[in-house]
Structure 1
Amino acid sequence: MTLDYTYNEGFGNHFSSEALPGALPKGQNTPQKCPYNLYAEQLSGSAFTVPRTHNQRSWLYRIRPSVVHSPFINKSGENLLVSKFGGEDVLITPTQIRWSPFDIPNKETEKVDFVEGLKSLAGAGDPACRSGLAIHIYAANTDMDHTAFYNSDGDFLLVPQQGVLDITTEFGKMSVAPNEIAVIQRGIRFSVALPDGPSRGYVLEVFGAHFELPDLGPIGSNGLANSRDFLTPVAAFTEDNNSDWEIITKFNGKMFTAKQKHTPFDVVAWHGNYAPYKYNLANFCVINSVSFDHIDPSIFTVLTAKSDTPGVAVADFVIFPPRWAVQEKTFRPPYFHRNCMSEFMGLINGDYDGKTDGFSPGGGSLHSAMTPHGPDAAVFEGASKAELKPVYVGANNQAFMFETCFMLSLTPWGLETCGKVQENYYKAWEKLENKFNGKP
């Protein structure tokens, strides 16, 4: 059967999906004999006994169970993925950091698929303790061929910056373009093809919590990301008997590989609420001030992974989309601030209103906990003198932020060997002068 780009609508819903009529068992999850002689397999994303509102699991009805594979062995070759962010293997600095766009490998000299192109920049915690997160970059130029990957350590939030990702999962297929995101949860097998050539983007990995929609509080029941705009693939499957497949997993920070003689994408039907999904950032409904002053950037939160402390996030995914600025008597760009959170920013396209140059699509910046940052000197001068009329900010732009309560450590690749750290970034604020005149 051909895999289609068809979707269910809604965030966190319990879906039922079948690629063949009657493939879902009626009335029970594990009948003595499944329709079409399929195998029943449950994929659990939460402990069995968590409250019903937080229980995540799906039942998969597949041609062969995923347990049919050879033993896992250590995967050879270079691995620049890091999941354990303690000790001497990582680097620590409070200095503001900015990266130029990360290189996409040249296909003429080196073929790199999505998994091979993953490299870690920063993170905190340890997946063995189900606590923390990691920030990665991917840069690839080749399809994954008869290879599937799953992450044993955490959930991936993918942010393509260049190039479409055709993602085949056990649940169906998703096409994810720049200005869209996808979440593929822990344990779900997937493969990535590049239909329009080389691709680059960002990955936020959370080790313990799952992503969810933020609470709206006084905003009410509408606004920000609407649940109906999240799309989950519908069941689709392929049949191939006795073809060689490699299954790669990241397990407790290490890469392992196993072999099997059948496709992992043979799920004919499934039902549940633990499934990958995508979202178009253009559907985000922006909330902002219509009188004066800034509202906190939390109003731009698309998804959050909560910690055990109410109101404190393991990770927030925040965007700064095109929007109207109408505040009176207000310095409109991001203000100077020091924050108890750590902020990694990336740029999908266009410009960012807090910087005049140096922050480019495919690059990034990190402002760590309590490290001061804000607009550069040129932005400050311009905004201080600008006519405060209604202005449409960020047309054709899309910047985003991975924000976390954790203090982030950097990988040696991210800070030293990637060759993209802008050593003169601190000079962006060098021309901020003493303008004090003793008058109100």
Structure 2
Amino acid sequence: MPFYQKRGEIPTKRHTQFRDDTSNLYWEELISRKGFSHMYTNVYHVHPPTSVEAVGELKKYNLKAVDQTHRHHHIRTANVESDGDAISSRIPLFFNSDVVISKAHVKESMKSLYRNGNADEVLFIHTGSGIFKSNFGNMALTAGDYLVIPRGVIWQIDVKEDMRILVTESSSPIETPTRYRNKFGQLLEHSPFSERDICTPDFVGPVDDSPMDVEVKLRHGIQTYGYQHHPFDIVGWDGYYFPYIFNINDFMPITGKIHQPPPVHQTFQANGFVICSFVPRPFDYHDQSVPAPYAHSNVDSDEIIYYVEGNFMSRKGIDEQSISYHPMGLPHGPQPGKIEESLGAKETNELAVMIDTFKPLNMTEAALNVDDEDYPYSWIES
């Protein structure tokens, strides 16, 4: 996140002696992105962050695409067979070289720690609540939260209420949209959200020292490492690299006299895709405006929309937790009757998350298993 944060105790200068009350040196660790040319944070440990005492087996995994007819899809993710903690419950639905999109029905707290060494993550908390615990500190999770976790963060989630989570894994850093930032990284005055809306970790400090397993996700599997000391032994940190939360309900929508295109709803960007937030808002106010969107041939993008709640103005037969998948190469748009139904409407109560990718997505068998095969014909007038 492009603003500075400081927690706990740190020395006046980096890379200088920093000791505890008994004159033991703390262990400084630099966590940096893109070598030494991007965001970074310095953290200070009680114990060496390198103290691995056991290396487990690599648990391999392989994302497998299924052959499919090129068509529109309606994926009923509420019916996905998913159970476990925030990692074991993940069911991949779509993927390409830039992004993996999964659904997780989380009922259990995590017993071990987790670090994604292969991707940045955005966890959209649809329902439920819990506590996100990390080496940077803790944050409460509630419905509507986008939890942004840069790769390399060590974390676990304790569940308070069963959670439904839309998981996005990115091969590149998750960022706020460039057009909403000035050259210093500050969100601009016309941005639909500001730094005031960003929640950052509450510092906890070192936990009780004990050996701890950390599961690290790599390109081809998950490797378990046994650490001699608990990694949550940080006495202080400062920098620009840390996990954070932005709640979708804090997104202030941009509206217009006529229908505004989806980019005004953009919330995050990464290489190869964007994430947008559709939130309750007034409709267009031109006296001849058509609130429902026009038909669209998005010739360079695949479009995923995850429906959270409310009545989406252009769709019918869509439930909460549904995903509409409109691939490039086909036009999509409002279904019959939805344009006329929107005329004269003053506002919408829809809440949805859109992911547009700039490379074609692959579908998994898990997605096809909950696909509505009649959806491609839902534009036929009856």
- Give the conservation status (yes or no) of the 8 Å contact 1:166–1:192: yes
Distance 1:347 1:47 in 2: 38
Report the counterpart of residue 11 of structure 2 in structure 1.
25
1:130-153 deviations in whole A, cap 9, x for unaligned?
xx11111111111012x1111111
SS of equivalent to 1:195:
strand
Aligned letter for 1:280? N
Distance 1:91 1:63 in 2: 51
Matches within 5 A, 1:68-147: 68-76=51-59, 82=63, 89-91=65-67, 93-103=69-79, 112-125=84-97, 132-145=98-111, 147=112
Matched, 1:300 2:300: no
Report the counterpart of residue 435 of structure 1 in structure 2.
none
Matched, 1:41 2:29: yes
SS of equivalent to 1:382:
helix
If the length of structure 2 is used for normalisation, what is the TM-score? Answer: 0.90
Distance 1:91 1:58 in 2: 43
SS of equivalent to 1:242:
coil
Distance 1:216 1:349 in 2: 27
Offset, 1:229: 1.3
Aligned letter for 1:31? T
Distance 2:48 2:274 in 1: 35
1:144-168 deviations in whole A, cap 9, x for unaligned?
12x1111111110110111113110
Distance 1:371 1:165 in 2: 40
Specify whether residues 188 and 93 from structure 1 end up closer, same or farther in structure 2 by C-alpha distance, changes over 3 A only.
farther
Report the counterpart of residue 276 of structure 1 in structure 2.
243
Report the counterpart of residue 154 of structure 1 in structure 2.
119
Report the counterpart of residue 374 of structure 1 in structure 2.
333
Report the counterpart of residue 364 of structure 1 in structure 2.
323
Offset, 1:405: 1.2
1:241 pairs with 206, 209, 230, which one?
Answer: 209
Offset, 1:32: 3.4
Matched, 1:175 2:140: yes
Specify whether residues 431 and 70 from structure 1 end up closer, same or farther in structure 2 by C-alpha distance, changes over 3 A only.
farther
1:235-290 deviations in whole A, cap 9, x for unaligned?
213432334x2211110141221222432222121001010010122221211212
Structure 1: tracts of 5 or more residues without a match = 1-10, 83-87, 126-131, 308-313, 433-440
SS of equivalent to 1:262:
coil
Aligned letter for 1:258? Y
- Give the conservation status (yes or no) of the 8 Å contact 1:101–1:360: no
Aligned letter for 1:66? P
Report the counterpart of residue 362 of structure 2 in structure 1.
409
1:298-320 deviations in whole A, cap 9, x for unaligned?
00111112x4xxxxxx2211011
Offset, 1:71: 4.6
Moved more, 32-41 or 256-265: 32-41
Aligned letter for 1:116? S
Aligned letter for 1:392? E
- Give the conservation status (yes or no) of the 8 Å contact 2:15–2:28: yes
Report the counterpart of residue 376 of structure 2 in structure 1.
426
- Give the conservation status (yes or no) of the 8 Å contact 1:17–1:270: yes
Report the counterpart of residue 338 of structure 1 in structure 2.
297
CA RMSD in angstroms comes to 2.5
Moved more, 359-368 or 114-123: 359-368
Give the share of equivalent positions with the same residue, in percent: 20
How many residues are matched? 373
Distance 2:210 2:180 in 1: 51
Offset, 1:92: 5.3
